[in-house]
């Protein structure tokens, strides 16, 4: 995996992202509305069941559960889709792998970046939602790009690892949806990190997605301090995951065309 | 001599076949790791697709590559284009490489012709600016015209091919690797491909041209290499290499071809072709087939379970890929009924073989009646080699290819 080559192939990356986005909404009735619909519907269901009935706390009386969960559902929905699509990106593009040469990492990267387009569209809905509840973000919102950057790296690193593994073992294809489902429950999307007993928090910190999502919440919602310790651990774990994913991908990519 | 743009030394490529190949589940890998921790794959699970091939190709050379199916030609192209990597040996290719293993790689049905030109072009390594620059020429070349903004799922096969090749013709690489692009499409399309390759060759670029169309290889390429079971068998002037290759491949004619090991197959697999036999009118094996002969093609199959009302077909084409005949049991009015489970066979009886001398690749298929989906489809699984008829006493027909059809006719001067 040659970085210079990837940079040289950036136009191919652009075209593959464009293809993914374009195809996703072709021949659909609602088009890009689907990007909003998924986190929106999930948020509504969560708000009724977890917010109103189970009365899960949002840490802050002033923050309604709808906003609390929607902010977390944006990165979560992106991550779940990016991981699934990146993990399957090599096996669904078998004809490209076996017929043309290009830096292989472009495939998982393009699916992750295509997911960012959906994330951007779905994020637009956050504005009227915040306005409705009279919430005005403060300067901490500037941290948001940092958290999103980390989110992309995490999805890419894990996505590359799973994509490479999927080439040799199709178990990945079957295990992925299930794993993503489980991941939702061990990540503070439905609940805040604070409901976890203090002595087990370090275990939660191992899931960098939690730190990233909590940082997103703290960045958007005023009066919620960013837990830099949690964010730092998340960044460190993400760096390790990304490096490991990229390394594994690099060490196996020469065999992709032979065994896929 | 000019600079070399391709240099290979001791190039070898080994593939794993059989159980180890493809979609292994994690469970199998774990079971294997536990039960046979130190076992290395045995020799018979490994095949050498290419062995110790050393090759130098100059900057402005146009080189043909010939060899039987599965001899390693495609593997060579894949190694040169870095799609796959050698087991041992080295490859060095200078300049921008374009490999045409197929045309229209990455075409997406939902996208329009225009969008696919940009997508395919960028997959083949063009910059967006370059594609935009040549866009009008590409459309013009493809002849797709006003359908350029139509989703290509509405295109005919021919239109897709032409559009794909139009992009390929505007790649302007330093090294062009072409693999059997000509095996598809109609005669006009093939001629267009050949003309384009000729132009590319003339413009001082390196071209490696893999083809079964020996005539095209000979006319396009001054030099030809022959790859035989992975080895570089011969390398020299095209005329000599092709003559030796022809001599070996067309002498004799196996009256029976085993199909169980054929890798180029697709379909549902509830039944498979196992063998094709060439028989005479009395049902005896026929080693030599001549124009005008009575010929029976007996297709043996094995059905895993009962298959209801399958229908069978056989496609005969010329070496150039042009369709000659495509008889199938359904249009010919034969009700096959149910077959299997077990072995069985079906005959295609030809009273007088209306083919001129030459080699005619055979494609076999059997389809399900219910949904017309293939049960087994074998591409170019055997070759029908036709010798000149007895009456060609003076060897005139043998002299030169004179079309594909042997007309049941004679000349006379009216009284």
The secondary structure of B391-413 as a DSSP string is: T-TT-HHHHS---SB--S-----
Report the predicted TM-score, pTM, of the whole model to 2 decimal places.
Answer: 0.74
Interface contact flag, B119 A15, Cβ < 8 Å: yes
Which residues from A are below 8 Å from B82, CB to CB? 101
Which residues from B are below 8 Å from A259, CB to CB? 21-22
Closest by Cα among B345, B367, B364 to B299: B345
Q: What is the DSSP letter of B371?
A: T
Residues B45 and B207: their CA atoms lie apart, in Å, by 34
pLDDT value of position B400: 46
Q: How far is CA B38 from the centre of its chain?
A: 39
pLDDT value of position B19: 46
pLDDT value of position B250: 56
ipTM field: 0.85
Q: How far is CA A213 from the centre of its chain?
A: 10
Q: How far is CA B130 from the centre of its chain?
A: 31
Query: Which residues of A lie closer than 8 Å to B, measured between beta carbons?
Result: 11-12, 14-15, 19, 22-23, 26-27, 93, 95-102, 168-171, 254-255, 257-259
User: Using alpha carbons only, how large is chain B's radius of gyration in Å?
Assistant: 24
Chain A contact present for B47, CB below 8 A: no
pLDDT value of position B392: 57
pLDDT value of position B21: 43
The predicted-structure confidence for B190-222, as pLDDT tens digits, reads as follows 788 888 888 888 888 899 999 877 888 888 899
If you average pLDDT over every residue of chain B, what do you get? 84
Q: What is the DSSP letter of B415?
A: -
More confident residue, B410 or A160: A160
Nearest by CB: B83 against A26, A93, A257: A257
pLDDT value of position A224: 87
Shortest Cα–Cα distance, B208 to chain A (Å) = 16
Average pLDDT over residues A50-72: 90
Low-confidence ranges of chain B (pLDDT < 50): 1, 19-23, 251-252, 399-400
pLDDT value of position B399: 42
The predicted-structure confidence for A205-243, as pLDDT tens digits, reads as follows 889 999 999 999 999 999 888 999 999 999 999 999 999
The predicted-structure confidence for A111-143, as pLDDT tens digits, reads as follows 999 999 999 999 999 999 999 999 999 999 999
What are the tokens at A78? Answer: 């992106």
Q: What is the DSSP letter of B40?
A: P
Shortest Cα–Cα distance, A206 to chain B (Å) = 26
Average pLDDT over residues A158-175: 93
The predicted-structure confidence for A167-210, as pLDDT tens digits, reads as follows 988 889 999 999 999 999 999 999 998 888 988 888 888 899 99
Residues present in chain A in total: 260
């Amino acid at each position: 995996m040659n970085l210079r080559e990837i940079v040289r192939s950036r136009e191919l990356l652009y075209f593959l992202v464009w293809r993914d986005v374009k195809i996703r909404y072709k021949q659909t009735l609602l088009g890009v509305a689907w990007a909003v619909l998924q986190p929106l519907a999930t948020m509504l269901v969560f708000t009724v069941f977890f917010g109103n009935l189970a009365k899960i706390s949002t840490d802050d009386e002033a923050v309604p559960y709808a906003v609390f969960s929607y902010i977390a559902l944006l990165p979560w929905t992106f991550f779940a889709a990016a991981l699934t699509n990146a993990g399957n990106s090599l096996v669904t593009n078998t004809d490209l792998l076996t017929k043309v040469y290009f830096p292989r990492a472009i495939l998982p990267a393009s699916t992750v970046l295509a997911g960012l387009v959906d994330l951007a569209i779905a994020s637009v809905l956050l504005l009227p939602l915040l306005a409705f509840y009279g919430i005005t973000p403060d300067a901490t919102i500037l941290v948001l790009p940092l958290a999103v950057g980390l989110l992309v790296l995490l999805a890419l690193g894990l996505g590359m690892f799973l994509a490479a593994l999927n080439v040799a073992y199709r178990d990945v294809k079957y295990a992925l949806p299930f794993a993503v489902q489980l991941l939702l429950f061990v990540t503070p999307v439905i609940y805040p990190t604070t409901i976890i007993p203090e002595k087990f928090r370090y275990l939660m910190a191992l899931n960098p997605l939690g730190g990233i999502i909590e940082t997103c919440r703290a960045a958007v919602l005023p009066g919620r301090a960013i837990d830099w310790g949690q964010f730092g651990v998340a960044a460190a774990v993400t760096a390790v995951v990304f490096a490991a994913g990229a390394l594994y991908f690099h060490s196996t990519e020469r065999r992709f065309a032979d065994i896929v | 001599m000019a600079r070399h743009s391709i240099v290979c030394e001791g190039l070898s490529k080994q593939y794993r076949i059989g159980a180890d190949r493809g979609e292994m589940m994690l469970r199998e890998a774990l079971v294997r790791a536990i039960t046979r921790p130190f076992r290395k794959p045995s020799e018979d699970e490994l095949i050498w697709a290419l062995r110790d091939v050393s090759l130098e190709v100059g900057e402005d050379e146009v080189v043909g590559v010939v060899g039987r199916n599965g001899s390693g030609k495609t593997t060579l192209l894949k190694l040169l284009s870095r799609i796959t990597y050698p087991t041992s040996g080295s490859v060095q290719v200078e300049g921008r490489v374009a490999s045409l293993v197929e045309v229209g790689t990455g075409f997406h049905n939902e996208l329009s012709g225009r969008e696919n030109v940009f997508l395919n072009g960028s997959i083949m390594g063009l910059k967006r600016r370059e594609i935009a620059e040549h866009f009008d020429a590409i459309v013009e070349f493809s002849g797709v015209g006003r359908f350029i903004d139509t989703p290509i799922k509405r295109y005919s096969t021919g239109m897709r091919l032409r559009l794909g090749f139009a992009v390929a013709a505007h790649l302007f690489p330093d090294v062009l690797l072409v693999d059997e692009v000509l095996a598809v499409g109609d005669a006009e399309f093939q001629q267009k491909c050949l003309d384009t390759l000729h132009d590319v060759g003339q413009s001082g670029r390196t071209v490696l041209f893999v083809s079964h169309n020996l005539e095209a290889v000979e006319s396009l390429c001054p030099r030809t290499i022959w790859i035989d079971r992975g080895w570089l068998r011969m390398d020299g002037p095209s005329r000599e290499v092709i003559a030796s290759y022809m001599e070996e491949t067309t002498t004799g004619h196996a009256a029976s071809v085993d199909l169980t090991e054929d890798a180029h197959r697709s379909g549902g697999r509830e039944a498979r072709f196992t063998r094709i036999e060439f028989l005479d009118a009395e049902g005896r094996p026929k080693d030599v087939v001549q124009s005008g002969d009575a010929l029976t093609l007996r297709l043996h199959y094995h059905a895993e379970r009962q298959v209801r009302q399958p229908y069978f077909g056989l496609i005969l084409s010329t070496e150039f890929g042009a369709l000659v005949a495509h008889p199938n049991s359904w249009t010919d009015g034969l009700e096959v009924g149910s077959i299997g489970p077990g072995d069985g066979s079906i005959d295609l009886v030809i009273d007088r073989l209306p083919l001129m001398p030459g080699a005619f690749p055979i494609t076999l298929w059997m389809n399900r009646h219910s949904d017309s989906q293939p049960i087994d489809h074998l591409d170019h699984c055997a070759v029908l080699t036709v010798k000149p008829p007895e009456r060609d006493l003076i060897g005139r027909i043998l002299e030169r290819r004179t079309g594909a059809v042997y007309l049941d006719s004679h000349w006379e001067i009216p009284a």
